[in-house]
Amino acid sequence: MLWEHSFFIFLKEKMSMNMKHSIFTLAAAAMLAAGCSGAPAADEGTDKDTFTVGMECDYAPFNWQTSEATDTSMELGSGAGYCDGYDVRVSKELADKMGKELGRPAACSGIR
């Protein structure tokens, strides 16, 4: 553990602030590039005719969950009811403008 302490002393005393900033910037860029893969995950849909939007359906008036279907609501699936609100309406409009169908949300499998 002594080497860790010595390394941090080296960083503090020998490296200029500009060099520390450059290392931090490169590390941040590497993490960003690693997280921005163009390939979909194995369980993601690759249907090019579907537009899928993620939302929590818990922030009225932007989006909310309801048990009754309306002209503007979208079925959540698995008996969870429907999602409605501004976000759903805008998503439907965007999908229409792009010539795609608004996809039904899939179950969340966690953050990757």
Q: What is the pLDDT of residues 32-53, one digit of tens each?
A: 777 655 555 544 555 788 888 8
Q: What is the tens place of the pLDDT at every residue in 52-78?
A: 887 878 888 888 888 899 988 888 877
User: In this structure, are 65 and 95 located in the same domain?
Assistant: yes
Per-residue pLDDT at 10 exceeds 50:
yes
User: In this structure, are 56 and 97 located in the same domain?
Assistant: yes
Q: 45 with 52: CB under 8 angstroms?
A: yes
Average the pLDDT over each of 10-14, 23-27, 61-65 and give the range with the smallest value: 10-14
- The answer to whether position 110 is within a domain reads no
- The answer to whether position 40 is within a domain reads no
User: In this structure, are 30 and 62 located in the same domain?
Assistant: no
- The answer to whether position 26 is within a domain reads yes
- The answer to whether position 111 is within a domain reads no
User: In this structure, are 57 and 88 located in the same domain?
Assistant: yes
User: In this structure, are 54 and 98 located in the same domain?
Assistant: yes
86 CB contacts (<8 Å, ≥6 apart)?
Answer: 61, 62, 63
Q: What is the pLDDT of residue 49?
A: 86
| Residue 7 exposure: Cα atoms within 13 Å on the Cβ side | 4
- Has this prediction a pTM greater than 0.75? no
User: In this structure, are 62 and 88 located in the same domain?
Assistant: yes
Domain that holds residue 54: 50-102
100 CB contacts (<8 Å, ≥6 apart)?
Answer: 49, 50, 51
User: In this structure, are 98 and 55 located in the same domain?
Assistant: yes
User: In this structure, are 56 and 23 located in the same domain?
Assistant: no
Q: What is the pLDDT of residue 107?
A: 47
Give percent of the chain with pLDDT exceeding 70.
65
With H, G, I as helix, E, B as strand and everything else as coil, classify residue 64.
strand
- How far, in Å, CA of 87 to CA of 62, rounded? 5
